[in-house]
Structure 1
Amino acid sequence: MNRLKPLLIATHAVVPLLWAANAYPIERSDTFQIHGFLSQALIVTDDNNFFGSSSDDNGSLEYTELGLNASLRPYNHLLVAGQILSRKAGNYSDGWQPKLDYGVVDYQLIADERRVLGVQLGRFKNPFGFYNQTRDAPSTRPGILLPQSIYFDRSRSLGLASDGLSLYDEERLSNGTIYLQGGVGIPQINSDAEISLSPSNPSLEGKLSTIGQILYSHDGGRINAALSMAQVRSDYQSRQNHQVKGEFVFQPIILSLQYNAENWTLTTEYEYQKRELKDFQVSPYNGKANGESLYVQYQYRFSSRWQGLLRYDYTVTDRSDPNGRRYAAAGQGEDYSRFAKDMTVGVQWKATPNWRFQAELHNVNGTAWLPRQDNEAKDTDQYWNMLLLQTSFSF
């Protein structure tokens, strides 16, 4: 019964949307769309754990994704869209709990050959780098995992989605397109971010935050360049001492660049991030750190079905202490927990238009993005390897 429970929960999440698909009159069927995906991975590590007890002899099967999305355009300028997601990724307390990944009412104020101007109201995916808005659909990812230096999974809710208002503008030029998007809302901060921020697992409550992106796509997407900026704010409350409370502010800036050729794609993104704890009455809690991340990724398409991946991924938590030596000398933890250098090799086989199989191998120095909920900090190792195998289906 324990093995069936996740499937039963996922079924309860998707059945209402399937029912809705059949409930609309036939004359609306040309505007109603429903899609979904599921994936299952096996993760094996020689040291440390990633998404479950991956360092055990049998590895971990605790990385599963189930999603169902639907959209309807009742009027030419009005779109209603949403997605339900059920996800298991290691020892998260909310694993398998179906959630509204996004749900928006999208109204286009202007829509012609040169310009599209619109507004979204509801829960929208944050425009964050190249991949954040589509990161939960396996078919949109270049590998099984996105570069963890920027698209961190251990605290993914910190920048994933917001409840509020988003404006977007698409300007079509003679040989390219400019996309602008900006939003104001309450970030959906969950327990993953609380655990990752501090071993004491504080309570975080999202506050009004802002995010914006400008993206230029040249020559039909042959060259893409983007700048993303955000200020994510939340109230911070210690669970051990209720007198300890203040504000946590996360401010990332991401520069993104991509070149697409006939058989290969080269992508790089750089992130500079500010993290600050402020307005605490207890002074030791106030402080700030500026980190940075960078990855370079090369994809080669051997054929319509086979694709290879090479990636170097680097992140440091504090630029003023890149090796974590001061952090370790102060007795706060291991020096290698403040950085991570990851070399990744991967391959993808698209067996059918719907089914794909992927494998990737990571050689990692450091544990900056290692999930805390899967590991005891004192038992981690600096150098470790990880093998991931995944199959996914989309429709």
Structure 2
Amino acid sequence: MTLVYFRLIAAACAGLLASTCAHADLSGNLQLHGFASQGAVQTSANRFYGNSPDTSFDFTEIGVTASWRLNPRLLLAAQALSRRAGEMSDGSPELDFALADINLIATDTHRAGLRIGRMKNRLGLYNETRDVPFTRPGIFLPQVVYFHKVRNLVLSTDGVQLYGELYRPFGTLSATLASGRPVIDENVEAALLRSNIPGQMKDRENSWLASLWFQSPAERLKLGLSGAAIALQQDWRLTPKTPTVDLLYWIASAQYNGPNWTISSEYMGLPTRWRDFSPVRPNRNQTTEGYYAQLTYRLAQPFELMLRYEEGFADRDDRDGTQLERLTQGMIPSQASSSRILSLGLRWDISRQWMLRAEYQRHNGNFILSEIENPDFRRFDKHWDLFAIQAAFRF
């Protein structure tokens, strides 16, 4: 089914190219950009992006982006990314996004268009640009909202997206509606199942994604509501029925930009339903939640300070994790179900191309840790510290 889907996308893109290349100046309107970063992570306990208790350098990002405007109505864009993140990602080159953006309507008061291909999902304030170090508020995004361990599941979708914008004197209203196939890897399976279950996790049907945003003039105020409905199944034949996992990942976002500072806050809800995994696990429903408040303050050029507090819970009805520990007979300790994190970061823009960052985090709980990097939950340390530095370059 996925192969058929890609063939349809390829055919549509080929048709668009054929119809426009004759009228386009193929030698112009081509832009190339790129970035590279290297980080070092040190933790007092637990593994985060590699063997961090002994200092890990397994945090590398390299990306190249190309965009080509064939004419005012058609833009082609793609980004290749190599990302090394401890045991969660080995740095193999991947297609981060590749799409055709078709401008259907454009006037002084509104605009509408269609995107086809692999698209970054417009979820929250940072998901679309989370791979570019210069666009993040810190070395790491708020991890209780933008989970590193299931990053690929919500990062992008192979499918079709409709988008529109409405321009008014009081601000801009924008909306998106998309459908397509999610990207699933072993990190997703480990985070959702927390055990080694035979078979492979895959999508059961198309995901649906939607967003609604408001921006005031000069982008002083930004408000948004975005979400994704994702249906998965485990390719496993040891039960009469096919095991399934259904998720509804949504984020409410707010941001205010002052002359020298920015305040951002988001709330994430993730209702999840597991069915037909017996005898491994009973049917159950669970709602994960996370939220944060963040202040970035632009000091005397070229420095910027970031302060953030965040909380996340695997199950909002079991915030202290006692039910989880009891149900797993102590195999998963209570502190694995929650994280409370205080972060302080400093950014130094050495030049337009070069940036240095340093960040300190104080952790209470282990909810944000990767199950692949930390397979033995009984060895979790509840209270731990993280210090990271990162150098980034762009062109």
Taking structure 2 as the reference length, what is the TM-score of the superposition? 0.89
The aligned amino acid for 2:302 is R
- C-alpha contact 2:37 2:390 (8 A) present in aligned 1: yes
Match of 2:339 in 1: 340
Is 1:64 matched with 2:95?
Answer: no
1:49 corresponds to which residue?
47
Contact 2:214/2:224 (<8 A) preserved: yes
Tell me, in whole angstroms, the C-alpha distance in 2 between the residues paired with 1:129 and 1:109. Answer: 25
Please report how far the alpha carbon of residue 283 of structure 1 lies from its aligned counterpart in structure 2 after TM superposition: 8.5
Q: CA RMSD in A?
A: 1.7
- 1:215 aligned onto 2:210: no
Give the letter for the 1:55 counterpart: P
Instruction: Name the SS of the counterpart of 2:340 in structure 1.
Output: strand
Residues 45 and 238 from structure 1, CA distance in 2 versus in 1: closer, same or farther, beyond 3 angstroms? Answer: farther
Matched to 2:93, the amino acid is P
Offset, 1:280:
4.7
Q: Distance in 1 between matches of 2:388 and 2:246?
A: 33
Shift of 1:30: 3.8
1:178-197 equivalent positions in 2, closer than 5 A: 178-197=173-192
- What is the one-letter code of the residue matched to 1:338? S
CA distance 1:236–1:40, change in 2 (3 Å): same
Instruction: Tell whether the 8 Å contact from 1:150 to 1:271 is kept in structure 2 after alignment.
Output: yes
Aligned amino acid, residue 156 of structure 2: A
Residue 356 (structure 2) aligns with: 357
137, 145, 149: which one pairs with 1:154? 149
- Cα pair distance change 1:282/1:378, threshold 3 Å: closer
Distance 1:284 1:64 in 2: 37
| Cross-structure match for 1:325 | 322
The 3-state SS of whatever aligns with 2:45 is coil
The aligned length equals 366
1:276 and 2:268 aligned: no
C-alpha displacement at 1:155, in angstroms?
Answer: 1.3
| Displacement of 1:220 | 1.6
Q: Is the 8 A contact 1:69 1:83 kept in 2?
A: yes
Q: Report the secondary structure of 1:55's partner residue.
A: helix
Find the aligned partners of 1:150 and 1:83 in 2 and give their Cα distance: 24
Q: Provide the rounded CA distance (Å) in 1 between the counterparts of 2:387 and 2:394.
A: 23
Give the whole-Å Cα distance in 2 for the aligned partners of 1:351 and 1:291.
Answer: 39
- Structure 1 residues 232 and 52: alpha-carbon distance in aligned structure 2, compared to 1, 3 A threshold: same
Q: Distance in 1 between matches of 2:113 and 2:384?
A: 47
- 1:281 to 1:339, Cα distance in 2 relative to 1, 3 A: closer
Check 1:238–1:365 CA distance in 2 against 1; reply closer, same or farther (3 A cut): farther
Identity %: 33
Q: CA deviation at 1:253?
A: 2.1
Q: Is residue 100 from structure 1 mapped to residue 95 from structure 2 by the alignment?
A: yes
What amino acid is the match of 1:234? L
Letter in 1 for 2:59: Y
Q: What is the aligned partner in structure 1 of residue 391 from structure 2? A: 391
TM-score, reference length from structure 1: 0.89
**1:105-120 maps to which residues of 2 (within 5 A)?**
105-120=100-115
Check whether the contact 1:86–1:96 (CA below 8 A) recurs between aligned residues. yes
The correspondence for 2:293, drawn from 283, 292, 296, is: 296
Report SS of the residue matched to 2:188: helix
Q: Secondary structure of 2:90's match? A: coil
Name the counterpart of 1:237.
235
What do residues 325-356 of structure 1 show as CA deviations (whole Å, max 9, x unaligned)? 11112225110000000000000000010100
Residues in 1 aligned to 2:239 and 2:66: alpha-carbon distance in whole angstroms: 42
Say whether the 8 Å CA contact 1:238–1:244 is kept in structure 2: no
The 1:335/1:244 distance shift into structure 2, 3 A limit, reads: farther
Matched residue of 2:143: which SS?
A: coil
SS of the aligned residue for 1:147 comes to coil
Partner of 1:312: 309
Which 4+ runs in 1 deviate beyond 6 A? none
Matched, 1:165 2:164: no
CA separation in 2, counterparts of 1:359 and 1:136?
18
CA contact 1:237–1:244 (8 Å) conserved in 2 = no
